[in-house]
Copies of this chain bind each other. A is one copy, B any other.
């Protein structure tokens, strides 16, 4: 894949002419507007060395990069990192200090989510998580409170001044959810849902892209590329454990992937030790391990009374356990020279 980097003031006519020129030579093109104002033109196929030379010499081409990875925009071959992504008004993911996103698996009611918003903020978390559209393996399981749940979650969070992350399941929901959501979460079952990824790529809201249950890192980064190639560069990857043969844990949290992505990509990585272990007693040690491996954030399930949760109670920790976790993560992060002000929300 050849990538041409062109300044914001290149004329539309010029660009159209170039694209026509390339397509006449049997090459594929994809024009990607970057938030900073410049344009990236991706050229696929096999341009000849001579043609490459000619492209390089064009006056309005600032750089012409041969990207070897199948995810040129997500890789560091073109854009250096690490990328800092703004969430809500005051939170930055990728800025060195790990960001803790916490909350219940499911929004269960207005009172619950209000209390949780307050408690997770007090415990030092910076983002409120909570599911309202729940993709469940079984069609007869609780499927979430839907849009009404989103409205009450959004209001509860606004009152506490904390941004929210919640899952979106299909392209047609993106527009409806947009006003209420700070980060769109794409769940593990939807990592390969390319129409959804493309739709999210057309917006500007940050996307938290969970890894598919058995996806390779390359497939995951190519899924991110679906979002980036539509123009939205605000993608955070979220490791949530992979399926293995182990029966004692729900999934196997793969921290190799975290360390690896920090080398392959400029995108930040968040780790979900709740789904990644499925066991309350492993959430703390695996949170520490995730940060030590380089994670930019943590996604933690919290419930006041885990044994009564409508879903995923076994893996939820209590608010007071969250307080301790935030404290230890802060100490660990500071010892590694990455800053410790985890709780700063504005």
Contacts and interface: CB of A to CB of B under 8 A. Distances in A.
B245 A243 contact: yes
B260 A243 contact: no
Contact of A216 (B30, B248, B286, B294): B248
Contact of A292 (B195, B222, B285): B285
Interface stretch (A83-91, A304-312, A330-338): A330-338
A288 interface: yes
A256 B246 contact: yes
A253 interface: yes
B289 A292 contact: yes
A44 interface: yes
B216 A245 contact: yes
Taking the full assembly, how many copies of this chain does it contain? 4
Contacts of A325: none
A246 B216 contact: yes
A69 B262 CA distance: 36
A242 to B, nearest CB: 6
Interface in A260-277: 260, 262-264, 276-277
A140 to B, nearest CB: 5
A222 B254 contact: no
A137 B246 contact: no
Interface residues of A, number: 74
A70 B138 contact: yes
A60 interface: no
Contacts of A260: 248-249, 279, 282
B216 A214 contact: no
A99 to B, nearest CB: 18
Contact of A288 (B226, B281, B336): B336
Contact of A285 (B139, B241, B247, B294): B294
Given A259-B286, A289-B259, A28 B193 contact: no
Contact of A214 (B169, B214, B292): B214
A217 interface: yes
A267 B335 CA distance: 28
Interface in A214-268: 214, 216-219, 222, 225-226, 229, 241-249, 252-260, 262-264
Given A140-B229, A242-B244, A292-B292, 9 more contacts: A1-B140, A139-B222, A193-B193, A214-B214, A214-B245, A246-B257, A252-B252, A253-B256, A285-B294
Interface of A: 1, 28, 30, 42, 44, 70, 135-140, 169-172, 189-190, 192-196, 213-214, 216-219, 222, 225-226, 229, 241-249, 252-260, 262-264, 276-277, 279, 281-282, 285-286, 288-294, 328, 331-332, 334-336
10 contacts: A137-B219, A137-B222, A139-B194, A189-B192, A214-B214, A216-B248, A246-B257, A256-B276, A259-B277, A285-B293
